[in-house]
A and B are shown apart, each in its own frame.
Chain A
Amino acid sequence: MVQTSRSHIIVEDLRVGWGARVLMEHVSFQIERGTTFAILGGSGSGKSSLLRYLIGLERPQAGRIHIDGVGEPHRYEGVPPFGVLFQSGALFSSLTLAENLALPLTTWTPIRGTTAGELVQAKLDLVGLGQFAGHLPGEISGGMKKRAGIARALMLEPDLLFFDEPSAGLDPITAVELDELIVMLSRNLGITIVIVTHELPSIFLVADNCIVLDKTAKGIVARGDPRTLRDESQIPFVRSFFTRTAAAASASQRV
């Protein structure tokens, strides 16, 4: 694989699975710094599993993942080098939003007091939750939890963010608001964003580049600009994925 100076993440010949069960293999791709990259695929294709490997929660069975400035994520120790938004937001239910955001800051930096308060409040303001700092996660909606999760992921000023199904389970308007927030973060903060999703509107709005995973092929079946793939791909599964037609997809799965 050609490695460019702008590569932020490089995945080479990765095999993902548990024990003898191989979920996907020969997975190779790279993500350019400052871009928004989508990992796409149907249910069970291994999108979220791949994300777990990218953020270092799992050790690859074979192959290599290299993140610029981090190395192999599963070996990394120390201040978390990237932010992660989990599907549910994964806020700590016993802490207020402000306390949730302050946790990584006070754990990993010596910042305390007014300065910490200003940084926390600024991040909540950034995601539109400035007036909910004293609320518990149980007192806010699902979309707000995800936005608070994004704010927490930004607390240590990472240059890389991972989002797992950010708009899943949200109404269309809240989902679009969240997508717009992601675009705003990408444009203004210049960070690399990796999104796992199967929400088509989100993909076309936020993603510069993508890979499409297929559980039958046990790997990547297409890669590139999602709009180009939608309009020009000759692969039945990819076309059906982007045009939401089930017949072609099921035909492809049977092959």
Chain B
Amino acid sequence: MGVDIRAERNGDRVRLVPAGSFDLAHAATVAQAVERVQPQLVGCRSADVDLADLGRFDGAGAVLLARFLDRLDSEGCRPRVLEGGQPDAARLIALYRERRVNGSTGQARATGALGRIGAVAARLPETVSEALDFTGRCAAALPKGAASPRSIDWRSLPRLIQQIGADALPVTSAANFLIGIIIGFLGVAQLGRFGAVAYVPELVDVAQFRELGPLVTAMVVAGRSGAGLASEIATMKVSEEIDALRAMGFDPVRWLVVPRCLALAATVPILTWIGDLLALIGGLLATTVMTQMTPRAYVMATLNAITAADFLAGLVKSPFLALAVGLIACGQGLATQGGAAAVGARTTTAVVLGIFSVIVISALFTFLYALLGV
């Protein structure tokens, strides 16, 4: 059934007859019918809207007719609805006209790109201040926790070590093993040009123990465990569990953040150490496959090349990288406000910031070691 609004003009009066289906399925054609009839209504002082020819009718049709009548009214053409045997339709149109809120636009949140950049910039000092405040509270939590051990959730520590350490072992091991293979291949390809393949084991040792082992392990942990921690705490925040902890007298930093950071600081060095071993095996595989060097010769060269300084240089920075990942993940989780979308956004931020901070801290350590001649 077609949709139309017939206009029968008589001087400054008009009789409007909407005909056809005025429902959701025909909303677009109803809107077009309204547009078509508008030019015929210029100069009208009153309009009788006769609903007698209406076919299917629902709330959508009522809304579009109600807004049409509102516009007529505002242009000085007073509308009058004639039920024409359709009292339900007339009642619906009246309902949507009565309940209209003048001036409501629904566009309150529309902001331009420049406005959004400005808003981010304006929030920057507050963000930095919040980050420093959180770091300070975490630092203060350790002595407070030592003075009052019951304020820390020690019972969760084994579970956290399991989740962050043992469960992450396959992925950190695989990543480090592949890194070892990559360094081995690169070493053979580059050093081999100068006949210096014998130095490949040393290259793998130094690169892996000092830099790539801690870095790769911490980055994988930031992506895996950092995301898990951030989303767990963020969900607790939006579901008011953090508020409940506070209301019961617990400090969320001591109760939640301290055990998670301790678990990370304890497990990431172990993951790094295991990763280093696997990287050596990866380097061995690459070198022995690509060159004439025997596994025994590779192992002997490795044992000769490894120094305590290389080994410790990596292991010393590893807990700091772990702490950065933990603090950022927990901090983002605790800063969550809103609903499910905020949980996702904070988790993403935690991972991005975690990986970035791991790279920055690793670079700082390298700079420091260079200064100290380690």
Q: Which residue of A lies closest to B340 (CB)?
A: A93
Q: Kindly list chain B residues whose C-beta atoms are within 8 Å of the C-beta of A128.
A: 99
Taking a contact as CB atoms under 8 Å apart, the answer to whether A135 and B108 are in contact is yes
User: A28 on the interface (CB 8 Å rule)?
Assistant: no
Q: Is the CB of B101 within 8 A of A156?
A: no
Assess the B106–A188 pair: CB atoms within 8 A: no
Whether A93 lies near B88 (C-beta < 8 A) is: no
- B91 beta carbon closer than 8 Å to chain A: yes
| One of B56-64, B139-147, B258-266 contacting the partner | B56-64
Given contacts A94-B339, A119-B60, are A188 and B91 in contact (CB under 8 A)? Answer: yes
Residues of B within 8 A of A188 (CB): 91-92, 95
In the complex, which residue of chain A has the Cβ closest to the Cβ of B102?
A130
- Chain A: residues with Cβ within 8 Å of the partner, total of 35
Q: Does A125 contact B (CB under 8 A)?
A: yes
- Tell me which of B95, B99, B100 has the highest count of chain A C-beta atoms within 10 A of its own C-beta: B99
Determine the distance from Cα of A126 to Cα of B96 in the docked complex, in whole angstroms.
7
Which of A16-24, A106-114, A195-203 forms contacts with chain B? A106-114
- CB within 8 Å of B: which of A107-152? 109-111, 114-115, 117-126, 128, 130-131, 133-138
Q: Could you tell me the distance in whole angstroms from the C-beta of B261 to the nearest C-beta in chain A?
A: 29
Chain B residue at minimum C-beta to C-beta distance from A116: B27
User: Roughly how many angstroms separate A121 CA and B101 CA in the complex, as a whole number?
Assistant: 9
Answer whether residue A189 sits at the interface, using C-beta atoms and an 8 A cutoff.
yes
Q: B148 an interface residue at 8 Å Cβ cutoff?
A: no
Contact of B106 with A134 in the complex, beta carbons under 8 Å: yes
- Which B residues lie within 8 Å of A125 (CB)? 96, 99-101, 104
B121: interface (CB < 8 Å): no
B106 touches A122 (CB 8 A): no
Enumerate chain A residues within 8 angstroms of B95, measured Cβ to Cβ. 126, 188
Closest to A108 in B: B24
B6 interface contact, C-beta 8 A? no
A122-B100 Cα distance, complex, nearest whole Å: 7
Name the A residues within 8 Å of B64 (CB-CB): 115, 118-119
Find B99's partner among A111, A126, A131 (CB 8 Å cutoff): A126
Q: What chain A residues lie within 8 Å of B339 (beta carbons)?
A: 93-94, 137-138
Closest B residue to A126 by CB, please name it: B99
B110 to chain A: closest CB distance in Å?
8
Contact between B88 and A94 (Cβ–Cβ < 8 Å)? no
In the complex, how many angstroms separate the beta carbon of A106 from the nearest chain B beta carbon? 12
In the complex, chain B residues whose CB is within 8 Å of the CB of A92 = 340-341
- Report the bound CA distance from A110 to B31 in whole Å: 13
The distance in angstroms between the C-alpha atoms of A118 and B59, with both chains bound, is 12
Query: Are B59's CB and A157's CB within 8 A?
Result: yes
* B contact residues around A138 at 8 Å (CB): 337-339, 342
When chains A and B are docked, how far (Å) is the Cα of A77 from the Cα of B347?
Answer: 35
Q: Which residues of A contact B67 (CB under 8 A)?
A: 118, 122
Residues of B within 8 A of A120 (CB): 106
CB of B23 closer than 8 Å to a CB of A? yes
A157, B31: Cβ atoms closer than 8 Å: no
What is the minimal beta-carbon distance from B109 to any residue of chain A, in angstroms?
Answer: 5
A239 and B163 alpha carbons, distance in the complex (Å): 53
Q: Are A189 and B28 in contact (CB under 8 A)?
A: no
Known: A110-B28, A111-B27, A119-B27. A124 touches B104 (CB 8 A): yes
Q: B100's closest neighbor in chain A, by CB?
A: A125
The reply to whether A94 and B341 contact each other, CB–CB distance below 8 Å, is yes
Within 8 Å CB of B28, what residues of A?
110-111, 115
Q: Which residues of B contact A121 (CB under 8 A)?
A: 104, 106
A141-183, CB < 8 A from B: 154, 156-157
Q: How far is the CA of A96 from the CA of B111 in the complex (A)?
A: 14
Q: Which of B234-272 contact A (CB under 8 A)?
A: none
B-facing residues in A7-55 (Cβ within 8 Å): none
* A71 sits at the interface (CB 8 A): no
Q: Please, which residues of chain B bring their CB within 8 A of the CB of A117?
A: 106
With A109-B25, A111-B27, A138-B339 in contact, is A118–B108 under 8 Å at CB?
A: no
Q: Which residues of B contact A118 (CB under 8 A)?
A: 63-64, 67
Tell me which residues across on chain A come within 8 A of B105, comparing CB atoms.
133-134
Specify which chain B residues have a CB less than 8 angstroms from the CB of A190 in the assembled complex.
88
Task: Please give me the residue from chain A that is nearest to B108 by CB atom.
Answer: A134
Please give me the residue from chain A that is nearest to B95 by CB atom.
Answer: A188
Contacts of B341 in A (CB 8 A): 92-94
A211: Cβ under 8 A from any B Cβ: no
**B residues engaging A (CB < 8 A)?**
23-25, 27-28, 31, 58-60, 63-64, 66-67, 88, 91-92, 95-96, 99-101, 103-110, 337-342
Please list 30 pairs of residues, one from A and one from B, whose beta carbons are closer than 8 Å in the complex, sorted by A's number: A92-B340, A93-B339, A93-B340, A93-B342, A109-B27, A111-B24, A114-B31, A115-B27, A117-B106, A118-B63, A118-B67, A119-B27, A119-B60, A119-B64, A122-B59, A122-B66, A122-B100, A124-B101, A124-B106, A125-B101, A126-B95, A126-B96, A130-B101, A133-B106, A134-B107, A134-B108, A134-B110, A138-B337, A157-B59, A190-B88
Nearest 9 CB-CB pairings of A with B: A93-B339, A134-B108, A130-B101, A133-B106, A94-B341, A122-B63, A130-B104, A98-B106, A157-B58
